[in-house]
Amino acid sequence: MKTKMGYMRYAAGVFALLVPLLTFGCSARRGVVGTRKMTMTLREAPPDEEAIYAYMVARTLWLNGDTEGALKAFRKALEHDPTSLYLHMEQARLLWSLGRLDEAITEAKIAQSLYPAIPDVYELLGNLYYDNKQWKDAIAAFEKVLKLAPDRVKPYLFLSSLYASQKNYEKAVGTLKSLLKRKPGSLMGNFYLGKIYMEIDLLKEAEKYLKKALKIRPNLLPALDALGILYMREKKFGEAEKQYRRLLRVDPRNSGAKWNLSQIYIQQKKLDEALKLLKELSNSENKGRDVDVKIGLIYFEQKKFDKAIEAFQKAHRKNPSSQRILYYLGAAYGEKGDLKKAIEALSHISETSPLYPRTVLQEVYLYKRDGQAAKAIALLKEAIKRHPKEPEFYLALSELLRKEKRFEEAKKIMSRALALFPKNGDVYFELGVIYDRLKDKKTCIEMMKRAIALNPKDASALNYLGYTYAEKGVNLDEAEDLIKRALKIRPNAGYIVDSMGWVYYQKGDYKKALEYLKRAVSLSGKDAVIFEHLGDIYLKLGEQHEAVKAYHEALKRAKKQDVKQRLHEKLQRLIKNP
């Protein structure tokens, strides 16, 4: 026969393989094809022999990779059996596999028009719409599946995912809860509900459903990972560690789990354990993760600067265009004391890089530490010329000039900054400090008030204004309130604790002042002024021996000549008048 001869060369030799793919049943009025998943009614007549043969050829060609030939064979089969649901759906699946989604959708819609009550058609359409990003059509198709076959699991999962992608979390949650009402033991229903609750930050609910999923399947890796991330978000690092250890017992080579566990160890200050994991990752493929950078930063934190440099150099070889790595490399050389190599690394950072301001300030810090204040000042002046809208440059330059006691020059710089950045609280703070050094307390107080108005949580400004009042012995209740606000923000800052002690000293409450000064010493034991204040309080309490000890400790730590002179005078008075 001419019709069959065109296909015979493909069918020969594989007929025996094709027979198990199809199961036929005939009756006087109804033809039925059995598939892997279902039995479908195709027509009100026995199956067409020509259609069956063409279908067998189509499947063979598809299995052998001849997709165009398979499509021709499917079309031939449909010519003989145009109402076959199975043929329309198989052709749609083939077109789907080829990425020809619009044609696949057209084919599936033909099947839908022929058999509007078959849930498999709508499920296929839902998948096609989903891949074609036709979200509303996909939702409608999956909703239809659930009306026709409410016990199917996958449509619930797809629907919830679609709702969540549109930020319709109420429907996403409701869909999964409907599934779990029917099938409370659904592994993926519990897992996906936990994930959606994580997405909307209902972490307690998320934990409950993720744990249910793990009760059903204890080694479900995505659930272990999700629960680990949840605990990390809650800063329950011990619990997060347990989850990732458990995950790694199941999958010892899981690089994502190793990475997250290393971050947990860093948070727990278990730096050696973090290094061990990161070194394992460094020797494997880890795209998107700065493993060597993390290793370098840990060594930097441990002050092992040679090893930090080695890690940063390795990272730079892998990613030579990264300016962030160059910045870290320069900082590591700087901390090692190799100024030349530090400046060399930092000099490669572009002026257009977001890191450029930090790079300039790092260079300034290195020159200043090396005793080259003039070079640091010149660098900042040049940076301001080239980038006049960078407030940090003005602030850094002013601080350097203050250290050099060039107060008028610093004031001039910050007055210029104030004109450029009138809403920058740090500018007002720095101006306040300058006016304080110029003995203009009134303007100093005005500037600090402006700084606080712009940033009510600026602990340094709150403390500075409060301490200024305490020094002057005025507005002591306001001073107490200001410093209390500062302590709420920075409760362990020794200099702020000292300020509070000094307020109580000025109020005459020496016992309370002593409590704060003792704590200040424990927090900032290297500060000469804190020990001096402690001595002053002991003196008021009549404990001269303790006062002498405190003044001697202050003298050991004093660096400024005027502070040393003041302490000598206090000690001399105590010796003359014991």
Q: What is the pLDDT of residues 306-344, one digit of tens each?
A: 999 999 999 999 899 999 999 999 999 999 999 999 999
Lowest mean pLDDT across 47-61, 81-95, 195-209, 332-346: 47-61
Q: Average the pLDDT over 90-117 and give the result.
A: 93
Q: Is residue 558 part of a domain?
A: yes
Domain boundary among the residues 114, 134, 158 is at 114
Torsion angle of alpha carbons 72, 74, 76, 79, nearest 10°?
-140
Lowest mean pLDDT across 1-10, 58-67, 475-484: 1-10
pLDDT at 1 (0 to 100): 38
Residues 489 and 568 in one domain: no
Q: How many domains does the chain have?
A: 3
CB distance 475 to 469 below 8 Å: yes
Q: Is residue 316 part of a domain?
A: no
Residues 556 and 473 in one domain: no
Q: Is residue 502 part of a domain?
A: yes
Residues 12 and 81 in one domain: yes
Residues 485 and 508 in one domain: yes
Q: Is residue 229 part of a domain?
A: no
Q: Is residue 63 part of a domain?
A: yes
Domain boundary among the residues 516, 543, 563 is at 516
Q: Which domain holds residue 491?
A: 456-516
Q: Is 363 helix (H, G, I), strand (E, B) or coil?
A: helix
pLDDT at 164 (0 to 100): 94
pLDDT at 8 (0 to 100): 31
Residues 6+ apart with CB under 8 A from 159: 139, 142, 143, 146, 172, 175
CB distance 256 to 275 below 8 Å: no
Residues 497 and 548 in one domain: no
pLDDT band at 74 (very low <50, low <70, confident <90, very high): confident
Residues 91 and 15 in one domain: yes
pLDDT at 286 (0 to 100): 62
Residues 10 and 91 in one domain: yes
Maximum CA extent, the chain: 132
- 505-525 pLDDT, tens digit per residue, is 999 999 999 999 999 999 988
Q: Is 41 helix (H, G, I), strand (E, B) or coil?
A: strand
Read off the pTM.
0.74
Mean pLDDT of the residues in the chain: 89
β-bridge pairing 31-34 and 23-26: antiparallel
User: Which among 440, 491, 500 has a CA at the least distance from the CA of 470?
Assistant: 500
* Segment 26-34 long-range contacts (CB within 8 Å, at least 24 positions apart): 33/84, 33/86
Give one DSSP letter per residue of 549-565, joined into a string: HHHHHHHHH--SHHHHH
pLDDT at 58 (0 to 100): 86
Residue 18 has pLDDT above 80, yes or no: no
Angle between helical axes of 339-346 and 356-369 (0-180°, round to 10): 170
Q: Average the pLDDT over 13-34 and give the result.
A: 29
- 266-314 pLDDT, tens digit per residue, is 999 999 999 999 999 987 766 667 899 999 999 999 999 999 999 999 9
CB distance 418 to 431 below 8 Å: yes
Residues 42 and 84 in one domain: yes
Residue 11 has pLDDT above 90, yes or no: no
User: Which among 450, 443, 462, 460 has a CA at the least distance from the CA of 421?
Assistant: 450
The DSSP 8-state label assigned to residue 217 in this structure reads S
Give, in order, the Cα–Cα distances in Å from 348 to each of 184, 359, 379: 60, 10, 16
The CATH code of the domain that includes 473 is 1.25.40.10
Q: Is residue 213 part of a domain?
A: no
pLDDT at 287 (0 to 100): 62
Which phi-psi region, left, alpha or beta, contains residue 62 (left: φ > 0; alpha: ψ -120 to 50)?
A: alpha
pLDDT at 282 (0 to 100): 85
Dihedrals phi, psi of 401, to nearest 5 degrees: -65, -35
Domain boundary among the residues 114, 134, 150 is at 114
pLDDT at 54 (0 to 100): 87
pLDDT at 16 (0 to 100): 27
Q: Is 304 exposed, middle or buried (0-12, 13-18, 19+ CB in 10 A)?
A: middle
Residue 241 has pLDDT above 90, yes or no: yes
pLDDT at 284 (0 to 100): 73
CB distance 238 to 261 below 8 Å: no
CB distance 298 to 274 below 8 Å: yes
- With vertex at residue 360, the alpha carbon angle to CA 359 and CA 363, rounded to the nearest 5 degrees, is 90
Residues 9 and 108 in one domain: yes
Q: Is residue 151 part of a domain?
A: no
Higher pLDDT pick, 40 / 278: 278
pLDDT at 14 (0 to 100): 28
Q: Is 351 exposed, middle or buried (0-12, 13-18, 19+ CB in 10 A)?
A: exposed
User: Encoding tokens for residue 19?
Assistant: 């027979």
Residues 6 and 95 in one domain: yes
Residues 574 and 477 in one domain: no
pLDDT at 248 (0 to 100): 96
Residues 24 and 64 in one domain: yes
Q: Is residue 68 part of a domain?
A: yes
